Amino acid sequence: MKKFFSVNDVHDLKKLVLKAKDIKASPFSDKQLGENKTLGLIFLNPSLRTRLSTQKAGLNLGMQVMVMNMGQEGWALETRDGIAMDGNTVEHIREAAGVIGQYCDVVGFRSFPSLKNRDEDYSEELFNKFMEFCKVPMISLESATRHPLQSFADLLTIEEHKTVKKPKVVLTWAPHVKALPQAVPNSFAEWMNRAEKEEMIDFCITHPEGYELAEEFTKDSEIIYNQEEAIKDADFVYVKNWSSYRDYGKVISTDSKWMIQPDQLSKSTKVMHCLPVRRDVELASSILDGPQSLVQAEAGNRLWAAQTVLTEILSS
């Protein structure tokens, strides 16, 4: 594996999940693999789970790990070519990424979308340029349109907790006070579509009208506008807010009826969320604190997803 940006970088999905289970069962069996190798984790935006789990994954493999909150502590980055840098940006991505690539053997990079210009965000210019100029294998720590380490951890969590061969997985929109990226639901849909193709799950999506995600991620997934109908009989309900893709970056509804109530769930339904979660806005605290919640299991699995991806990159 030379990069981990989307599910398309995964050759064999089932094998990758099995590998993650093996690594989870025996986390230190490859602790020589990363000897004398450096992992750089570059954040343009905040993070708790991604930062700590990916750092720990590198340490478990014997890597040296450097973390930089570039958004706060780095020079203001320019990405455009052909302009005189006489404004607020101080350093061009060509120089910055080139320098970081010399110090690291693998680079993880987080950059959220602007949510202002859809074409720019969906071109993934920032991630792609960084990769072009740093010249070492790169891992997405959440880019403008995807969060593959999260989706991988989510699939692992589903595989571990399923009680039927082909569980029903439902992605549901939830209310939020702010405009959030589509990266997590895009990526989840992309991974679940692949898992559905491999007969691992059944997948559908529910959201208010106007919150349709880009078809390149949802493909021909069923979209059900009635949440109650969609989540009925679900084995896993994946809760996430996102802003509109069509009316790009806008919050077009904050309808609190879309926050699932415990009595809407059947007893066997498990509830997932990538975190951070706004309690009693996106998800009822009684669900989060109850036995149906898998949020801690998902966050725990972020470590094994990251360690599996690093193992694949280091051994290729």
48 binds, among ligand AN0, ligand CP, none (CB under 5 to 8 A by kind): ligand CP
Q: Which stretch binds ligand CP (CB under 6 A): 5-13, 48-56, 61-69, 224-232?
A: 48-56
Among 48, 85, 99, 164, binds ligand CP (CB under 6 A): 48
Name the amino acid, one letter, at 172. T
> 262 vs 276, which CB is nearer to ligand CP?
276
Cα gap 130→66, rounded to integer Å = 17
> 33 vs 214, which CB is nearer to ligand AN0?
214
Here's the x/- map for ligand CP, 273-312, by CB under 6 A: it reads as -xxx------------------------------------
| 3 state DSSP class of 293 | strand
Rounded to a whole number of angstroms, the minimum distance from the CB of residue 134 to ligand CP is: 21
CB-based contact 106:116 (threshold 8 Å)? no
Q: Which residues bind ligand AN0 (CB under 6 A)?
A: 147, 180-181, 183-184, 274, 276
Q: Is 49 in the site for ligand CP (CB under 6 A)?
A: yes
Instruction: Name the strand (E) or helix (H) holding 201.
Output: none
Angle between helices 13-25 and 148-161 (to 10 degrees): 80
Cα gap 102→26, rounded to integer Å = 32
Our measurement of the distance from residue 190's CA atom to the centroid of its chain's CA atoms, rounded to an integer in Å, reads 11
Cα gap 131→297, rounded to integer Å = 31
Cα gap 200→306, rounded to integer Å = 21
Q: Which stretch binds ligand CP (CB under 6 A): 41-49, 78-86, 124-132, 203-211?
A: 41-49
Q: Is 67 in the site for ligand CP (CB under 6 A)?
A: no
Chain contacts with ligand CP (rule: CB under 6 A):
47-51, 142, 150, 274-276
